[in-house]
Amino acid sequence: MLARLMQRKNLKYLLPVLIGTLVVLSFKLFGPQEEKEQVIFSLVRDALTNVHLQPRTVDDEMSVEVYENYLKSLDYNKLFLTQEELAPLDSFRYLLDDAFHQNNTAFFELSYNLITAGIQRSKSIYTELLNESFDYTTEEYTWTDSKSKFFAADQSALVDEWRKHLKWRIINRIHEKEQVQEEEFENGELEEEKTFEEFEQEAREKELELQNEWYSDLMDVTRLEWFGLYMNAYCEVFDPHTNYLAPQQNDNFEMSMTGQFEGIGAQLKKEGDYITIERIIAGSACWRQGDLEAGDKIIAVAQGTAAPVDVVGYKISEGIKLIRGKKGTEVRLTVKKKDGSRMVIPIIRDVVELESTFARSVVLDGGIYNRKSAESKGSIGTKTGYIRLPKFYVDFYKSTNRNAADDVKAEIEKLKAEGVEGIVFDLRSNGGGSLQAAIEIAGLFTQKGPMVQVKNFQSGTRAKNNRGNKIYWDGPLVILVNEYSASASEIVSAALQDRGRALIVGPSKSTFGKGTVQNMFDFDRAVGGNLNSLKPLGAIKITTEKFYRINGGTTQLQGVIPDISLPGAYDEIAIGEKEYDHALAVDYVEKATYNAEKNWTKAFDRANKRAVERLASEDTYDAFKEYAQWIAKGEENKRIPLNYTDYVAFQDSISAQSDLFKNINKAPDSLGVVALPDHLTMFETDSAQADIYHKWYKNLSRDLVLREGVKVVNDLVK
């Protein structure tokens, strides 16, 4: 999210909300729970219609979208409800726009009763199915993608869907157990070999245990949490980043905004049945370990060498309980990678070092070295400064007095003192942060003036200027981005690209493509008086602004297209804002008044031409095209065989192919990395930081994209 100071005190735009709520309550009387839902519905409605940047027409078309959106979230895997049971809900398909105006919760009431009854029924279904073995010789299939499934026609068909679902999970568990047994046999660690039948029996017993746990968790979901799903069915048809947060969710969101993370240092999200890695926190335990990546799906969690706990279907809160633990202890995550392969990743838990999330820099000496012998294999030729910025942070509460702009400025000064000839500024996987920090950082490299344009419902479009008079670096500048560089990262990249100040190096398509700004409104601050007894009411995170390039273009959906495009693993699949339903459309504004720099034009053209020639002649990137096609093929084929022999062959083929691309992102040789003087001073007194930094240096030395960035700097210098 492109963060602005959370407007918990600036509630003037929600005054109509409060008035509307009081009017509603003056005409209707409800029980406490229903009354609370009415208030929340009114608050959400008026926020969407009065505060959202682009309020949409509330009509039958919107009603259908809300209806389909809600059913998707209500029963994501289509295991609790049948088409027969959903038939009464269909009468509301074109009425949810009227319900929106009237605070009518009849549709929610009916759906809530249906889903709770469906969950209760599921216990008898899975218990009976798991009492007996499945037939593992039948040729049949299931789908891992819920979009490929349909709601079962009736209860008999629902039971069959459950059978396939459970059979898939049992087969998967048996296969994993047999793989472990085979490894133990090869290592001479096996004491007693188990048969397929024994594994199958254990797998069904374990599955019954897990299903009972999930059932208990689902029965613990409060009515208000279900109501939150209903509210989000409305919110998300306005845009994908607008969400209602029920009270507990709101607390979790506030915790995430503090930047304090424990355990392994990964942000998680729920995708269907899977707890998925949303972001790796720079400097954290899993970041240092190196194998865990954004997009990985967590299948199981083990405490050290203990038996893993299957977490497919777990709530995020329950998964976090297993993943977190005391510093120094080991957790083992079994994950499903984007390419479909599985990996067990051991991570030693630690406290996330806040220092590691700040800007940091290093000098690359221009040498290329044999990775094993450290003998020189030649020279890129340029002493290059490298700055890594994980996020655009700013301390609103002045607890650390740190902000990204000041820290990047300080790193530039350190690199200048070392005599670097060019700078690589790394914004890969930087999801954004402070708008003001982005503006100030762009201004460190170019003359003052507009860096971004912002449009909101209040004041229309206005340019946001950098007001600093000093340019801190006027030499060769390369910015590294990838598909997960978003929001504030895109502001900086676009501004310096439009001004002719930097060459952008990154994926063959574009960056993420998020050009919207959200603000947070706490509903508890919007109501008072006789409504205090209904608190807590939660909050809404709502899109209030869009930002635009200074050339009048937009990064929304389009992202920033690199000047020098590198082949990547995800070239053949859609990644970014364009994937989301109801993402705000591309539009344009007038060009801002600014002067593009002309003195770099020839050097940029020369460097671009050389990069194209180099990439065409180097075989280092050849494997990416094949890898990207393989990933795309895996994305298209979500069908899983339920014949055990076929399933084993299917999984073995994925593993074999995955091994071919295991080190695809690593350069075959090493860059020379030189620690800055202040690093060396720190290492003398802080061995933990020394370890963190040396692992960072090692990763940088084999970073394939960084090596290309350094070559581009060299072309600009020469």
Is 628 part of any domain?
A: no
CATH code of the domain in which 480 resides:
3.90.226.10
Is 121 part of any domain?
A: no
Residue 178 vs residue 116, higher pLDDT: 116
Q: Based on the domain organization, do 384 and 326 belong to the same domain?
A: no
- Least confident segment among 265-274, 422-431, 647-656: 265-274
Q: Based on the domain organization, do 365 and 424 belong to the same domain?
A: yes
**Domain extent for 611:** 354-447+465-531+555-590+598-620+667-717
Provide the CB-side half-sphere exposure for 403 (13 A, CA).
17
Is 114 part of any domain?
A: no
Is 147 part of any domain?
A: no
pLDDT for the residue 146: 80
Q: Based on the domain organization, do 407 and 378 belong to the same domain?
A: yes
Q: Based on the domain organization, do 411 and 328 belong to the same domain?
A: no
Is 26 part of any domain?
A: no
Stretch 574-579: mean pLDDT, rounded? 90
Given 348, 364, 389, the domain boundary residue is 348
Predicted TM-score of the model (pTM)? 0.78
CATH code of the domain in which 265 resides:
2.30.42.10
Is 559 part of any domain?
A: yes
- Angle made by CA atoms 252, 257, 258, in degrees to the nearest 5: 100
Q: Based on the domain organization, do 430 and 366 belong to the same domain?
A: yes
Stretch 469-480: mean pLDDT, rounded? 96
Stretch 378-384: mean pLDDT, rounded? 78
pLDDT for the residue 248: 62
pLDDT for the residue 238: 97
Span 205-246, pLDDT tens digits: 999 998 998 898 888 888 999 999 999 999 999 999 999 988
Amino acid making up residue 352: V
pLDDT for the residue 400: 53
- Residue 399: pLDDT band by 50, 70, 90 thresholds? very low
Is 176 part of any domain?
A: no
Q: Is the pLDDT of residue 408 over 90?
A: yes
Question: Cα dihedral angle (344, 345, 348, 353), rounded to 10 degrees?
Answer: -160
Residue 650 vs residue 530, higher pLDDT: 650
Which residues partner with 519 through β-bridges?
542
pLDDT for the residue 454: 95
Percentage of the chain modeled with pLDDT above 90: 56
pLDDT for the residue 8: 39
Residue 455's nearest CA partner among 582, 592, 576 is 592
- Least confident segment among 186-190, 431-435, 446-450: 186-190
Number of domains within the chain: 2
pLDDT for the residue 468: 81
Q: Based on the domain organization, do 338 and 373 belong to the same domain?
A: no
pLDDT for the residue 154: 96
Measured CA distances, 718 to 305, 422, 610, 704 (Å): 54, 11, 12, 22
- Residue 125: pLDDT band by 50, 70, 90 thresholds? very high
Q: Where are the alpha helices (DSSP H) in 285-434?
A: 285-289, 316-323, 404-417
Instruction: Pick from 19-28, 248-257, 401-410 the range whose average pLDDT is largest.
Output: 401-410
SS3 label, residue 655: helix
pLDDT for the residue 207: 93
Stretch 130-134: mean pLDDT, rounded? 96
Q: Based on the domain organization, do 294 and 392 belong to the same domain?
A: no
Q: Based on the domain organization, do 337 and 411 belong to the same domain?
A: no
Q: Based on the domain organization, do 381 and 508 belong to the same domain?
A: yes
pLDDT for the residue 217: 82
Residue 547's nearest CA partner among 463, 461, 454 is 454
- Residue 378: pLDDT band by 50, 70, 90 thresholds? low
Stretch 313-324: mean pLDDT, rounded? 83
- Least confident segment among 231-235, 507-511, 686-690: 686-690
pLDDT for the residue 53: 93
Cβ pair 43, 17 in contact under 8 A = yes
Given 348, 382, 405, the domain boundary residue is 348
Percentage of the chain modeled with pLDDT above 70: 89
Enumerate residues 6+ apart whose C-beta is below 8 A from 364. Answer: 383, 384, 385, 386, 424, 671, 672, 673, 674, 700, 706, 710
Residue 332's nearest CA partner among 319, 323, 321 is 323
Instruction: Pick from 4-8, 275-279, 542-546 the range whose average pLDDT is largest.
Output: 542-546
Q: Based on the domain organization, do 320 and 269 belong to the same domain?
A: yes
Q: Based on the domain organization, do 360 and 328 belong to the same domain?
A: no
* Residue 315 buriedness (CB in 10 A; 0-12 / 13-18 / 19+): middle
Given 348, 364, 397, the domain boundary residue is 348
Stretch 459-479: mean pLDDT, rounded? 92
pLDDT, mean over the chain: 87
Q: Based on the domain organization, do 326 and 373 belong to the same domain?
A: no
Q: Is the pLDDT of residue 253 over 90?
A: no
Is 34 part of any domain?
A: no
